């Protein structure tokens, strides 16, 4: 009888952790989420689930699986799991912090550069045979990052990694908005200033989102927020789609209230607002690739399996997120 159900295929290095610990487990070979009823059916009797961000784990799952004691999410975000329901049912939830920090910051930086230097447009221009030679006033004229102001919304691990790249590598001035002040050493290292949200919006040339999706952060970026931003500003989001009112973002881009966007996450993934798909200038889109390097995704699988192993062997897993 399996003690662990892995809801979707993960890298073998993760599965090996369970094998080596002699923990019976079952892994679905597919790479898509199960409808809840099927997940409940297939996971009946297990003590642990290893889940991905596309799995929705809510009250009905906890109710239907009374033996369940831990859900190990292969992600740093866990908004796909109803944490208060888990806690009420005595189920530990774990995530995979740290191992994906640098890869996600790389992706945020890549999208910032892609939108600023108009890389997706330039790529299409060359492939479509529309390039007829170097010109001084090239169609894909971009903007400098060097010396500009980057506003970080959410100065956690990934926000700080993004700020480090920007400050040390590109000489950018760092502003940030966060519930609490960053450690003094970090502020000093980055010469970063904590500012109210309104100042972050009005003074930043680039705004990069690095906060989790919670009821409090839902649609923090509204039509009003975009009106407060510079008309030359570029928004980057590698955190979670619901922080941004996507319809308002489309309007802001269309009307020129802001200049561009680099987006890796969307409100209703995998759907993307049709208005965003039509905006081809200074808008770079990616399919939730923040942590998508082989090394990082492998480490995430290993960490999730280690959390399960620790728990089933009677220890508190290192990455429990329940209050």
Our CB check for ligand DGY shows the closer of 101 and 149 to be: 101
- Judged by CB under 6 A, the chain residues 98 through 127 that form the site for ligand DGY are 100
Q: Binding pattern to ligand DGY, positions 39-78, x when CB under 6 A?
A: --------------x---------------------xxx-
Our CB check for ligand DGY shows the closer of 75 and 174 to be: 75
Torsion sign (Cα): 106, 107, 110, 116: negative
Our CB check for ligand DGY shows the closer of 75 and 91 to be: 75
In the complex, minimum distance from the CB of residue 21 to ligand DGY, in angstroms, rounded to a whole number: 24
> Which residue in the set 290, 301, 304, 309 belongs to the binding site for ligand DGY (CB under 6 A)?
290
How many residues of this chain bind ligand DGY (CB under 6 A)? 7
Nearest alpha carbon to residue 109 among 210, 213, 249, 250: 210
Supply the residues annotated as catalytic: 240, 269, 288
In the complex, minimum distance from the CB of residue 220 to ligand DGY, in angstroms, rounded to a whole number: 18
In the complex, minimum distance from the CB of residue 77 to ligand DGY, in angstroms, rounded to a whole number: 3
Our CB check for ligand DGY shows the closer of 211 and 259 to be: 211
Would you count residue 14 as binding ligand DGY (CB under 6 A)? no
CA-to-CA separations, 142 to 122, 146, 268, 276, 281, in angstroms, rounded: 11, 12, 30, 20, 11
The Cα–Cα gap between 107 and 44 comes to 38
Please provide the DSSP assignment of 128-144 as one string: TT---S--TT-TT----
> Which residue in the set 51, 204, 291, 319 belongs to the binding site for ligand DGY (CB under 6 A)?
291
Residues constituting the chain: 323
Our CB check for ligand DGY shows the closer of 47 and 264 to be: 264
Question: Vertex 292, ends 290 and 293: CA angle to 5°?
Answer: 125
Mention every residue, 6+ apart, whose C-beta is less than 8 A from residue 34. 7, 28, 42, 55
Alpha-helical segments (H) within 89-196: 101-116, 119-127, 157-164, 170, 184-190
Instruction: Give the residues lining the site for ligand DGY (CB under 6 A).
Output: 53, 75-77, 100, 290-291
């Amino acid at each position: 009888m399996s003690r662990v159900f892995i809801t979707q295929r993960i890298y073998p290095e993760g599965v090996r952790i369970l094998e080596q610990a002699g923990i019976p487990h079952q892994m679905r070979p597919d790479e898509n989420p199960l409808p809840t009823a099927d997940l409940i059916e297939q996971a009946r009797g297990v003590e642990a689930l290893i889940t991905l961000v596309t799995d929705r784990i809510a009250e009905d799952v906890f109710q239907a699986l009374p033996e369940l004691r831990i859900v190990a999410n292969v992600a740093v975000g866990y908004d796909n799991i109803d944490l208060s329901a888990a806690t009420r049912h005595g189920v530990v939830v774990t995530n995979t912090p740290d191992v994906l920090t640098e890869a996600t910051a790389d992706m945020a930086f890549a999208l910032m550069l892609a939108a600023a230097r108009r890389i997706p447009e330039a790529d299409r221009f060359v492939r479509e045979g529309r390039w007829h030679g170097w010109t001084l006033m090239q169609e894909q004229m971009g903007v400098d990052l060097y010396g500009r102001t980057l506003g970080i919304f959410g100065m956690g691990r990934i926000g700080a990694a993004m700020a480090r790249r920007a400050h040390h590598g590109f000489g950018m001035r760092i502003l940030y908005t966060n519930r609490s002040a960053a450690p003094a050493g970090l502020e000093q290292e980055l010469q970063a200033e904590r500012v109210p949200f309104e100042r972050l919006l009005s003074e930043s040339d680039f705004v990069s989102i690095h906060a989790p999706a919670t009821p409090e952060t839902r649609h923090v970026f509204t039509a009003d927020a975009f009106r407060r931003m510079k008309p030359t500003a570029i928004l980057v989001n590698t955190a979670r789609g619901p922080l941004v009112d996507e319809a308002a973002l489309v309007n802001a881009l269309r009307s020129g209230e802001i200049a561009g966007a680099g987006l890796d996450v969307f409100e209703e993934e995998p759907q993307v607002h049709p208005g965003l798909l039509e905006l081809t200038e200074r808008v770079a889109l990616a399919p939730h690739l923040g942590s998508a390097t082989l090394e990082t995704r492998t480490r995430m699988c290993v960490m999730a399996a280690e959390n399960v192993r620790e728990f089933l062997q009677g220890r508190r897993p290192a990455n429990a997120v329940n209050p």
